[in-house]
Structure 1
Amino acid sequence: MAAEVKSTVAFIGLGSNLGNRVAYLQSAVNAIQHLGDSMSLSSVYESEPFGIGDDQQPMYLNMAVSIETKLGSEQLMSELMDIERANGRIRVRRNESRTLDLDILMFGDELIETSALVVPHPRMHERAFVILPLAEIAPHSVHPVLQRTMSEIAAGLSCEGVRCIGSLDAALSQATSTNPV
């Protein structure tokens, strides 16, 4: 009898600031749900661009999802990169505008540091546009390095430039009734 592969709860950050941003988020959610079970979705947040050349970039939409998956962390990251490519993502420079950005924020309580993947995401605790959605779906999850809950981390961050625009369904409805979000 083969050993059963254990499931791990993975937290994934989603972001988009090019094209129909909400449609890219929905496309990613649809694809990610096939990578495991028990998916939870945060609200969608709009945030100012962060990083190099941010004054020239459009606003971002961000959200977080959790999924219980039997994939390993490297395989999950490979699948996420395939989803990015399927949605028009071309990696040229760091912190550039993108149709879709998918990051593994946490993978269970594992600490991973390879040339291809660092988990937990090394700067997530500094970014309200990452922590606010994550704290919404996993307020009591503990950052495996900082040993603080997502709610505690969120309480210590400035939320300037980040606003909740509602559920993904609400954002989709708004996008189809007006201009693309």
Structure 2
Amino acid sequence: MTSVAAYVGIGANLGAAQATVEEALRRLDGLAKTRVSARSSLFRTVPVDADGDDYVNAVARLDTALPAAQLLDALQELEQAFGRERPYRNAPRTLDLDLLLYGAQRIDTPNLTVPHPRMTQRAFVLIPLLQIDPFIDIPGQGPAHAFVPALADQAISKL
């Protein structure tokens, strides 16, 4: 199987969040049939539609031969390894891994929606994504950079 460029959003706001994001990046690089081919800087952001401490966020580009559903399973296993709990929507988290893009594919299944449905509404996704690829298109939606002006009210700072 040929490799696909997949983009993963990474976030944490419980415990040693910065160390967790760094370790998650290392472990993503160790997934089967997958390697991290690019990563953004780390960014600090305030929670969006949630309470709790500030988040540490990043985005990684993975070159993977895993099908999207298997990649999602691997991401969720990694979240569990870091003690991820889901007591309620947008709860604080030890680690959050979101499959943002999977090549140019549009996927809509009960378990996975790609492109990630809220990625164009989140500075903590778009700014790190654009740092990796300033000209990336979001399948079915257009250039990612076109969504940034609407996010000017979302505070984000590079660590």
Question: Scaled by the length of structure 1, what TM-score is found?
Answer: 0.83
The CA distance in 2 between the partners of 1:27 and 1:146, in whole Å, is 32
Deviations 1:72-103 (A, max 9, x none): 00000000001001011112211000000000
- The unaligned stretches of length 5 or more in structure 1 are 166-181
1:169 paired residue number: none
Distance 1:6 1:159 in 2: 40
* Equivalent position to 2:17, from 15, 21, 31: 21
Over the matched positions of the two proteins, sequence identity in percent amounts to 35
Distance 1:159 1:8 in 2: 33
Provide the residue aligned with 1:39 in structure 2.
37
Letter of the structure 1 residue corresponding to residue 151 of structure 2: L
2:102 pairs with 1:102 = no
Greater strand share, 1 or 2? 2
1:164 aligns with 2:158: yes
2 CA distance for matches of 1:25 and 1:38? 14
- What is the Cα deviation at residue 155 of structure 1? 4.2
Counterparts of residues 145-164 of structure 1 (less than 5 Å): 145-148=140-143, 150-158=144-152, 160-164=154-158
Larger radius of gyration: 1
Aligned residue in 2 for 1:137: 132
Q: Deviations over 1:8-32 (max 9, x none)?
A: 0000000000000011101211111
> Match of 2:8, SS?
strand
Whole-angstrom CA distance in 2 between matches of 1:159 and 1:64:
20
SS of equivalent residue, structure 1 residue 80: helix
List gaps (5 residues or longer) in structure 2. Answer: none
CA distance in 2, matches of 1:38, 1:58: 28
Do the aligned partners of 2:115 and 2:139 also contact (CA within 8 Å) in 1? yes
Hey, which of these two has a bigger chunk of helix by percent?
1
Aligned structure 1 segments of 4 or more residues deviating by more than 4 angstroms:
none
What is the rounded CA distance, in whole Å, between the counterparts of 1:61 and 1:38 in structure 2?
19
* Counterpart residue number, 1:7: 3
- What is the RMSD computed on CA atoms of the aligned residues? 1.3
Provide the aligned length of Structure 1 versus Structure 2. Answer: 157
- Displacement, 1:154? 2.5
Contact 1:81–1:102 at 8 Å: present in 2 too? Answer: yes
Distance 2:11 2:153 in 1: 17
